[in-house]
Amino acid sequence: MKYDTYSAYDSRATSQSLPTFLTIWPALGRYHDDLVLLGGLVPICICKHPEGDGALPRPATLDVDLGIALGASAGQYGTLSSELRAQGFKATNHNKARYMKEVNGLEMYIDFLVEDGATPEGARMVDDVQASVMPGVVRALKTARSISLSGKDLFGADQRITARVCEVGPYLALKLRAFKFRQQPKDAFDILYTVKHYDNGPEAAIAAFTEEVNVENPASADAIESLKDDFNDENSAGAVRAAHFILGEATRTEHEDVKLRRAMIRQDMVDVATALLRSV
C-alpha cells in the first residue's frame, strides 16, 4: 500500500514495519538462502539518515516485501504459509500473494515477489504461497547483503537478526522499473533518497546500478527507459512526483520557501537520474 504524500503515512503504522520484519525473518529460517528483503524497508537498512534543516524525510513503508527464489522449499519441515500463520499472518481474500496481520488496530502486510525468467508479470506458486512475478528479483537474491538488525518484534520480544537485504544496484533497477509502469510518487522519492544517502556513497550507488545494466538485469532495460522518459528535466513526471511526495500538492499561494524547496528537490531528482543515465 502506498500513499502519494509522506504526510499521509501514519507513523503508528510505519513504526511497525521493522517489527513485522523482525517477526517473520526468524520464523522463516529454513528459507533464508532463498529470501531477500525488497521494498520500502531497504533504504532504511542500506542508507545513512541525515537529520536537520533541509534533510529528506526518513523513508516510510507500510508493508514488508520479500523476494523469493522460484524453487524455494523447506521440504518435509513445513511450508511458508504454515510458518506465517504461526506468527499470526493470513492470506488476504483479495490478493493471495499478500499476507496480513492486525496489530493494535493496524494492518501490517507481507508481499512475496518472484522472477520466473519467462514472463514480466502475473503470479507463480512458490512452495505453497502465491508470489507476484517481478523481473530483477533473481539479481536481488544473488547480490543480497547480510545486515544485522535489532529491535522488538510484534510480540514485544527482543530480536537480533542477520538478514539478506537487497543491494543498491538491483534495488534501483527494480524501483525505476516500478516507476515506469505505475508512476507513484513514493517510488521517485525512494530512488532519490537511496542514491543520495546510500551508506557507501552516491558514487558507489551509481556504479552498482551500472553493474546491473552491464550484467543485463532483466529490470534494467525498463529502468533506463524510465530514466530517459520520466526524469529528464525538472517538470518531468519523476521530478514532480518526488517533490510532491515530500511537500504535497503545489499551490499558487504556497510560501516562497516551500517553492524554493520544491524546485531544489526537483533539480536533485534530475541530477540523480542524469548521473545514473550517464553511467550506462
Per-residue pLDDT tens digits for 11-38: 999 999 999 999 999 999 999 999 999 9
pLDDT of residue 162: 98
Cell 511497525 sits at which residue?
16
Residues 6+ apart with CB under 8 A from 26: 153, 159, 161
State whether 160 and 175 are in the same domain: no
Same domain, 161 and 188: no
**Cα 259 from Cα 263, distance rounded (Å):** 6
Residue 157 belongs to what domain range? 1-166
Count of positions (residues) in the chain: 280
Last residue of a domain, one of 166, 198, 223: 166
Task: Report pLDDT for 40.
Answer: 94
**Could you report the per-residue pLDDT of 171-203, keeping only the tens digit for each?**
999 999 999 999 999 999 999 999 999 999 999
Residues 15 and 93 in one domain: yes
30, 102: one domain:
yes
Q: 44 falls in which pLDDT band (50, 70, 90)? A: very high
Which DSSP letter does residue 29 get? G
Same domain, 8 and 128: yes
Whether residues 33 and 82 fall in one domain: yes
Where is the domain boundary, 119, 139, 166? 166
Last residue of a domain, one of 99, 131, 166: 166
- Give yes or no: residues 199 and 227 share one domain: yes
- Alpha helices in the chain, H assignment, sequence order: 11-14, 17-27, 42-46, 80-86, 137-142, 168-182, 185-197, 202-214, 220-230, 237-247, 256-278
pLDDT, tens digit, for every residue of 211-250?
A: 999 999 999 999 999 999 999 999 999 999 999 999 999 9
Q: Do 194 and 159 share a structural domain?
A: no
On whether both 26 and 102 belong to a single domain, the answer is yes
Domain count for the chain: 2
124 and 228 co-located in one domain: no
**Do residue 78 and residue 64 come from a single domain?**
yes
Task: Map grid coordinates 527494480 to a residue.
Answer: 174
Q: Are residues 16 and 122 in the same domain?
A: yes
pLDDT score at 55: 87
pTM of the model: 0.95
